Chain A
Amino acid sequence: MTATALADLWTGFGVALEPHNLMWCVLGVIVGNMVGVLPGMGPLATISILLPLTFGIQPVGAILMLAGILYGAQYGGAICSVLLNLPCHPPHAVTCLDGFPLTQQGKGGVALGLSVLGSFIGASWGITEMIFLAPVLVELALQFGPAEICSLMLLGLLAGSTLARGSPIKGVAMTVIGLLFGIVGTDVQTGIERLTFGIAHLYDGVELVALALGIFGIAEFMNSVNKVSNLNLTYSNVRLKDMRPTKAELKRALPAMFRGTLVGSLCSLIPGTGPTIASFIAYATEKKLSRTPDKFGTGMIEGVVGPETATHSSIQGDFIPTMSLGIPGDAVMALLLGALMIQGIVPGPQLIKEHPDIFWGLVASFWIGNILLVIMNVPLIGLWVKMLAIPYKYLFPSALFFVCIGVYAANNDMFQVGETIVFGIFGYVLLRLGFHPAPMLLGFVLGPRFEETFRRALLLSRGDITVFVTRPISAFFLAICVLLIGAQIYVRLKNRKAEGGPVPAAETGA
């Protein structure tokens, strides 16, 4: 088992080190690193913009680059949080709490240096987990029939929507809307046009890029216009020699790194709990285990390193269900899976066997990319910080153009730019009404496959809907679904009692 995994990994390195693949990987991590620093531009929007441009390149290169953007952005996000006290990306919000005080004490460089080290350790563990766990999961999943896969998808959708940010019920509503958007277009089995309302452009379905750029691009710009204030760049001058920690600091940080790794990898095993939750749990763990919990918030290095490590360990771990089962845990993973599907690759347990170059190439590229990021991060921090000086008023019009040309390039169709505008308005209305639209993408990407397996499961059972509870594995997944909902209701009721009002409960339900 170990031997085959290592042999496969070796071939993976061969794939990832092919010059053109390596080039896409490097490009991905650099672009990711850059947008990770820029406030108002997240990995979601960036991946969506660059997605259409990957249609022309090989699937391996495409996925290497898009994945590189994701983890590259995490390294950048730490810079933003620590040096500028700016929680640009949700997983790094908690890093600000102790990161910025450290910067004010002149130790920002050390905090960054240690968090880069921690990130690398966390990511390495996540990758190792992927190498050994994914093939096992695949063996298991290949035994599943449509009923099991359907229940598993339901679990993934439910976890992804209720454990994400914001109110669980709104998250589920977003997923359902995503599933409905996934239905739009010609039904594969009967050829009937569904929910197209007679618009011929919609017969092929809603375009993934248009949906993603509407809700993560245009809606986000509408949300941040005239709100992003000028940045405080006083502390942002970090040099290489500032980043070297003292022995005492290293001794404090190392245990936090290992705890963060553990928290992150545990979180990645539970579907739906992405990096944001991992980093918050890691921070809470550090605070709880510390001998001086009251000092947190004044510049404790553990409070920076722990969450950062957990974020990276969890992000790499999130690739496991995505690549081995074809079930994404959050919107970014859904987008990456969507990218593979556009390239004509069917996600699911058979992916590793049918396209070993994609899976093992991706795993190998993770390591190459992470090493590159550790090396590059140091000299590039200065450059990124200079880019931060670009005011938002110049950033968003340029980004808006990239959104337009990105959507246009997807199919060379101006209609889809219009589609993006509509989704942008819709997404902004949802934001205003307190929804977090990210789970919509999850439902959209999984929707068609969910419906197909659901239909097939019922066809095989001759219309007997109890098949989902009589087959043990499927029943097990459904039981977890019920537990998940039960736990959410329990937490809500408890919070309501404790805080005397349902409003805070809705926000802490995550």
Chain B
Amino acid sequence: MNTASKRIAASARNWVRKRDFYAGALMILLGSVAALTGPTYQLGTLMNMGPGFMPTALGVVLILLGVIMAGAAVATPEGEDEDILPNPEWRGWACILAGPVVFIVLGMIGGLIPATFGCVFVAAFGDREATLKNSALLSVAVSAFSVAVFHYLLQIPLPLLTWRGL
């Protein structure tokens, strides 16, 4: 009994290392959100379907798919498909996500020029070889292009340079 429970524990440990386990879990999570929110919008009848029918049905399908996915991960041999986070690029990811955030913030308070410059400048540091000078040069070039094309040519309603405060 002891060995049996040990083996189950070992295979469970093995299971939670699989990529497909997490893939399935994510689908089950998203499916549950839909399947639990759906019924709050009236399911209706088959003849006169309510707005809640589709989300609920899709949620249930997604949960089923997630269960199959996660279940299939049990059958994967040990050591395979386990690298969920190989060579993380934290710096790259952070800079790429920070770029649009900077764009939103500076775009709202300062206008197109600071938004463009800031977005490109921050994103450029996602590369490991980025230098201050190169990033600044790139940002200036893209900003100039952006002003010419998006402000003058396409007339996007974002002021070039203002101060709106927060």
Q: Footprint of B on A, CB under 8 Å? A: 53, 56, 169-170, 172-173, 176-177, 179-180, 183, 187, 189-190, 192, 194-195, 218, 221-222, 225-226, 392-394, 396-398, 400-401, 403-405, 408-409, 412, 414, 417-418, 420-421, 424-425, 428-430, 432-435, 451, 454-455, 458-459, 462-465, 501-503, 506
Contact = CB atoms under 8 A, between A and B. Distances in A.
A53 B155 CA distance: 11
B96 interface: yes
Interface residues of B, number: 72
Interface string B22-58: 1100110010001001000110011111111011001
A504 B93 CA distance: 30
Nearest to A214: B100
Given A192-B42, A409-B154, 14 more contacts: A195-B34, A225-B126, A226-B128, A397-B99, A397-B120, A397-B135, A398-B138, A401-B103, A408-B156, A414-B108, A424-B96, A434-B23, A434-B81, A451-B54
Interface of A is mostly: helix
B110 to A, nearest CB: 12
Interface of B: 19-20, 22-23, 26-27, 30, 34, 37, 41-42, 45-52, 54-55, 58-59, 61-62, 65-66, 68-69, 72, 75-77, 80-81, 84-85, 89, 92-93, 96-97, 99-101, 103-104, 107-108, 115-116, 119-121, 123-124, 126-130, 134-135, 138-139, 142, 146, 150, 154, 156-158
Contacts of A409: 150, 154, 156
B69 A170 contact: yes
Nearest to B130: A393
Contacts of B41: 187, 192, 194
Contacts of B96: 218, 221-222, 225, 396, 400, 424
B104 A418 contact: yes
26 contacts: A169-B72, A173-B69, A176-B58, A176-B65, A180-B55, A180-B62, A221-B96, A226-B92, A226-B126, A393-B124, A393-B127, A397-B119, A397-B135, A398-B120, A400-B99, A400-B100, A401-B119, A401-B142, A403-B100, A405-B150, A418-B104, A428-B93, A429-B26, A451-B54, A455-B49, A503-B81
A183 B100 contact: no
A192 B49 CA distance: 13
